[in-house]
Structure 1
């Protein structure tokens, strides 16, 4: 959980702003990611204008601009990609250097004070200010500001303000277009991937045209500098070197007067000229492009950028900023999530929304969403299955047109997916694991061939889109073709296994990439089954609702009606394993045989992130889960699984999940809402929404986690808001996190915009635009209209359980006297000639004295009377009590005393419930009796665990409802007693043995109040 990570936040908490008041050089790359800006067309990392010499990742990107590299393998097989595409770092147009009195300012070497950097998310403007103190002793106030316009997507604007506080020393500003750096993560280290076509630096024309050598793509940056009108005298110098265009402005300031300079950038590229991909095809070994196309592109981008910049130069910075901020304001009006009472939660979700709104706006159906957006080069700007699984739902309910564009990207690249299927010798279409242009870019062979579930989430995204929008035109003209080709693939990929009497998907990898090349991954099989069924349903529906489109489709792709029968037959016998004992769906055929590992044993400093500290085989061989797998299937198909099934599987997998993937916390939060673990849901939400702001996974320096940010929105809307959609209506089952006063959000459903607000008493719904909407709220049917509809919060939720008491077992939890029990029973057994060993002793855990004796006597050849049995029990007890003389406070198990103190300090009641009749004596020996409000021993009850009599008696004496009690146990019988009493339970020991417990820790030393709270 987040609390275990101990990461200190670098930024002040504020509902609308990200504020950095201290520059930490070693954390600079984290800050660069956090202060990234984008407008879909282009994006920049939060680099300082003057640049840095080290610990920086310079990043200025243009959507759809990429370079290709030839792949290298020590041994190559069929299906390995020959080339891979990567997002290209383009010209750095941010560059502005400052010299005062002959000294160049730089953050990592200069002296400065009063530093702050602020990202205003409401206006989408980034600013920085400080006072620069030169070695000569003069002080200059500097302020930078910039934005990427949402009103004019090809515009980048900067402003620098200079104020000489105590001097009149010379100042020189250098405004640059700098293309001297390439990507820093190029696999083959081929150097800078772009060549200069032309560079001009003149008073009326400052531009730099570059060509990406390997793809034949072109881009131009053209700039204009506006000097402060109050500046009467200055010197200007213009220069153009190999890959730098520069304008230098030198002047002598008046003391105390401020000077403002503006820099406008116009960016155009070959995609604007009608070439969505490069002129050089991916498999083309030549670096030569068609000269006619090149001339057409160059003429287009030069002409249009010049016209564009001419218009910009007639505007002023404040006017352009106002237009941009007004556009951003309109976006916020439709998509903001408002949280009252919790600034941390508010800032977290707004930051997520801010980056999502900047990353993708749905203007280009040939663009997808890279896993890092345009904030870093890890994953090389490529799109994964995250787009459909996490991003599409966000855009679907906030900007449906953008969601359609994302689906159209897959349709536009369907031919490439068909080509890939043919290459791999499968029918239908196989979409790439990672891509920029629709072709496969992944060179990690163990994933590229096995992690094929992207071919299920794309159809599922189509299903979600159609259900939420009613856009049958898209379904019948484009979506159905994708569905059929995906169904063909799954039918071909599956194989009938006579031994299992079902269809298997062998050698696959699910969302959890720590269990690779498995058989019958539950998520993959379930989703494939669903695709086969849904594709058949859509074709059937088209035969009635759109026969003409079906005829066109059948002709185009040779669709045979017999295929539908085959799909349904395979789906009906798809292997979906269920374990009756554990009452879970095992993640795959091998999962339950993996080496057990306890998540709490991970050291945040030495182990996190695991990928950087562990060898691959170490996590591959354990039952640790990287991210939800089986649980993800349950989230996507929530209406197909009961609350009991979700609870059992969540309980099993949650404690095995490390959340090493940013995609993990939000899904756990949503499911925790559904099963009633509201405190845990809130904790996971904070992890999800603040993952980058607080660098919780220690990877923010690589770039932001865009898909996780989309998941954070779903976390609120589908988790706390309880929103889901069926074929009949939209559903809400809202809850309110305890820390919040209220929250509200807006969604678009079937063309109507619905506002939802939830406070501590009720939830309110209103259609702001569009027609009335049929809804099911807390199980009852309503019509949401233009008039606000109020529905009381569920009484069950309002009276939900909260942790008020902890009931401890004694042996194995507070103290380990089990060895004395074992020795006493063994001594008795040997004298009676009865076989007794440690395996039999395990059965005695949590069991009362007489019941334990009965278990031992099962091995006896003679029968004992009640009187004889009583005498045997007394003999054993006397031997045991004698051994207890050895017990001292040092025998308390690790962490227990600290937990006692923590519980007392937080006014949590403490009870003991033990089968031992000597419990009071042991507590006295341990000197801990003062901590217990209630003690229940074997002398107080008739029935042993798993009967709940003892724990219920403890709760009654504490005057606390059973549901508000947590039982800590090391034996399955004790866990069963807690379950039978309606209490939450924390197990100590082996997870498989205590699988009925709500959570299990390997040792008492990991116990703390926070973990107990997470059971609620």
Structure 2
């Protein structure tokens, strides 16, 4: 059987039981495998606990608020009774209570010693996992020890509906342990089946089932100090995957029963071992940073499923109900680079979700009077706009939500992700089958959205940029620059495919209805769009008129518990230069090669003191850009702030689920910022700026079928790249030496004063 990882740096630990933090812990310690996820709730239930199980891609209608992710009944619930007294944290005396999330193994552990009112002491040790080897399987094991008594122990497993389940139980087969549910208003069925194994075999339990099949009981007569164990196997299928989920769930339990619980657990551990080999960023000298990156990587792995191209990763993954499970730009801009360089098939699947939701994007564009595809700001299963139109503030005021109508940069964000995937993977098949159509349709949107005006330039008016404190603005720099990128790369992609895939080109043109003159029109529009850039100051004006707004002391306000937009109020915040999150600075993070370093420096120094970081997405991008600029102390401060969004709950809302975009951005801050990784046409470029205290840094990455391992040292300065497999590629240091390397070779460059020595090539 598995045991917790011995190295404490791989464990997130919570000692004791604190009702005030319970829902936060449920988020942080959640388990998942991209197909389904479960919060780390107390299995016996409690007033302050909120058990939730989510299946990716399953949404239910919720009146005027639109779709929200369905919450399934809690089938992992169980209770333990000793001589008919139910064990509870609130009754008797808690002698010990610890939960551990084992990041390395993807297992939730719990140890609990409870003294009941009669003085009997029972020790419970259990673990739970969502199998990464078989995404339809959940394993649960509990060992119950009668420490100072002999008597009857009863274990009760019960199907407990959530208060927000959104699913109806249609049929329960008590004999096979199967459960069939449906989603109201949708033709979707969800089925589970279970199997229980009891140990030791010499102490067979008595088994009873409740009258409606929703409850089962097992009981033993135990001797002093004796331990009994129950191992439970659950399977889950939906009609999104198979024609008959109930039959498939039962058959799957029967097929894996022969493998045994230990073998199923071992396969899960092996899957996590392989995944960590592909993804782990190792930091020597900074245990806090190491723990944060492992936490981020764990949740990123647990959130995505390479086998399902009809689902994506929501803003809180499969760990909580905040944002109703909706998909935002967080996925393409903040998370996808992690998958792109550590699990390319997963990145492809996430982009295919956007391809399959092109219909919704086209509908939204037409509804707003535009051509092409305008992606939903908040997307669910269909790709239709899912952003609520109104919200109720804490003071009871009702406000209109404009992001769904005006935050149009989402289409360029998706196009950016498509281009980056193609650049790093070389996956021409994806481009021909899906990517080219996304690029073309989003370019068509911008071609109809931007308007030529008497000043001879093109403008995009009445939008919301990433800085959501300012609505209905004109010529937001981020929006316009990303639109330019979208238009130019769509034209570039058409030229490349026409030249590279001669045989496929006519069919592609017919499929996407590409007019011969379209790419040239896109380029002309890209050249005409204003960006707000001032060559004299090297600054991008965040939007037209921003420089005329009022200055406010944002830096002082950052230390307050109340967000600055609440303190200032809606009218004053709109009149001020206070910024919610990285906006122009986000351009530096995404389009670094577009402008000289001096431009990035000027804009970072101008906007940094004006940014309130009211979004979890913001601090890590500031860490990334600060690292690239060589401001290592500030980069470390922002890295810490980003790491603490979940681990220290420094925004106070981790109870709604972990912040997936912030976790992806933290990985980017390390790999793209600290290591300075850039991808070029023929290989990779590195520009390391190890942060204070980071003695060494190492990480793997995949690039066009090559598997690389990068190792950086601070003192003495040293870069080592091992090409584990793959054809020849170029490895370079920014503004320094370059070399070619192929599978089986190791190249090393050493610090040479302020520069780098030529690469040494070896086996």
TM-score of the superposed pair, with normalisation by structure 2: 0.93
Matched, 1:443 2:419: no
The aligned residue for residue 266 of structure 2 is: 322
CA distance in 2, matches of 1:685, 1:414: 35
The aligned runs of 1:587-602 (5 Å cut-off) are 587-602=542-557
SS at match of 1:137: coil
| Contact 1:85-1:435 within 8 A present in 2 as well | no
| Contact 1:596-1:622 within 8 A present in 2 as well | yes
| Contact 2:43-2:79 within 8 A present in 1 as well | yes
Larger radius of gyration: 1
Q: What is the CA-CA distance between 1:112 and the residue it aligns to?
A: 0.8
Are residues 768 and 689 of structure 1, via their aligned partners in 2, closer, same or farther at CA, if it must alter by over 3 Å? farther
The aligned residue for residue 399 of structure 1 is: 343
CA distance in 2, matches of 1:51, 1:613: 38
Q: Which runs of 5+ in 1 are unaligned?
A: 1-11, 73-83, 184-191, 274-296, 799-1016
CA distance in 2, matches of 1:620, 1:96: 52
Which of residues 365, 369, 380 in structure 2 aligns to 1:425? 369
Q: Which has the higher contact order (CA 8 A, sep 6+)?
A: 2
Q: Which moved more, 1:420-429 or 1:784-793?
A: 784-793
Total equivalences in the alignment: 735
CA distance in 2, matches of 1:797, 1:23: 53
The aligned runs of 1:447-846 (5 Å cut-off) are 447-498=403-454, 500-579=455-534, 582-602=537-557, 604=559, 606-608=561-563, 615-760=569-714, 761=716, 762-779=718-735, 780-785=737-742, 786-793=744-751, 795-796=753-754
CA distance in 1, matches of 2:685, 2:497: 27
CA distance in 1, matches of 2:566, 2:97: 33
CA distance in 1, matches of 2:142, 2:637: 41
| Contact 1:14-1:344 within 8 A present in 2 as well | no
Q: What is the CA-CA distance between 1:32 and the residue it aligns to?
A: 0.5
CA distance in 2, matches of 1:506, 1:531: 17
- Deviation track 1:223-245 (CA, whole Å, cap 9, x = no partner) reads 1221223553543220154xx71
- Deviation track 1:154-194 (CA, whole Å, cap 9, x = no partner) reads 1111111111111124322111233x2242xxxxxxxx532
CA distance in 1, matches of 2:500, 2:339: 27
The aligned residue for residue 377 of structure 1 is: 321
The aligned residue for residue 61 of structure 2 is: 68
CA distance in 2, matches of 1:587, 1:755: 38
- Deviation track 1:325-378 (CA, whole Å, cap 9, x = no partner) reads 011111111211111122111111011111111111311110111111110001
- Deviation track 1:43-92 (CA, whole Å, cap 9, x = no partner) reads 101111111112x33210111111123327xxxxxxxxxxx321100121
Q: What is the CA-CA distance between 1:636 and the residue it aligns to?
A: 1.2
Q: What is the CA-CA distance between 1:730 and the residue it aligns to?
A: 1.5
Matched, 1:127 2:109: yes
CA distance in 1, matches of 2:531, 2:56: 41
Are residues 267 and 537 of structure 1, via their aligned partners in 2, closer, same or farther at CA, if it must alter by over 3 Å? same
| Contact 1:510-1:524 within 8 A present in 2 as well | yes
CA RMSD of aligned residues (A): 2.1
CA distance in 2, matches of 1:721, 1:389: 19
CA distance in 1, matches of 2:324, 2:211: 30
Are residues 606 and 776 of structure 1, via their aligned partners in 2, closer, same or farther at CA, if it must alter by over 3 Å? closer
Are residues 373 and 314 of structure 1, via their aligned partners in 2, closer, same or farther at CA, if it must alter by over 3 Å? same
Matched, 1:199 2:196: no
Q: What is the CA-CA distance between 1:794 and the residue it aligns to?
A: 6.2
Q: What is the CA-CA distance between 1:397 and the residue it aligns to?
A: 0.6
| Contact 1:20-1:116 within 8 A present in 2 as well | yes
| Contact 1:264-1:312 within 8 A present in 2 as well | no
| Contact 1:734-1:793 within 8 A present in 2 as well | no
Q: What is the CA-CA distance between 1:614 and the residue it aligns to?
A: 6.6
SS at match of 1:757: strand
SS at match of 2:12: strand
The aligned residue for residue 181 of structure 1 is: 162
Q: What is the CA-CA distance between 1:110 and the residue it aligns to?
A: 4.7
SS at match of 1:160: strand
Q: What is the CA-CA distance between 1:380 and the residue it aligns to?
A: 1.1
The aligned residue for residue 336 of structure 1 is: 280
The aligned residue for residue 219 of structure 1 is: 190
CA distance in 1, matches of 2:379, 2:247: 32
SS at match of 1:764: strand
Are residues 181 and 587 of structure 1, via their aligned partners in 2, closer, same or farther at CA, if it must alter by over 3 Å? same
| Contact 1:118-1:128 within 8 A present in 2 as well | yes
| Contact 1:606-1:613 within 8 A present in 2 as well | no
SS at match of 1:353: helix
| Contact 1:151-1:323 within 8 A present in 2 as well | yes
CA distance in 2, matches of 1:658, 1:39: 34
CA distance in 1, matches of 2:36, 2:690: 38
- Deviation track 1:688-735 (CA, whole Å, cap 9, x = no partner) reads 234211112222111001121111111111111110112343211112
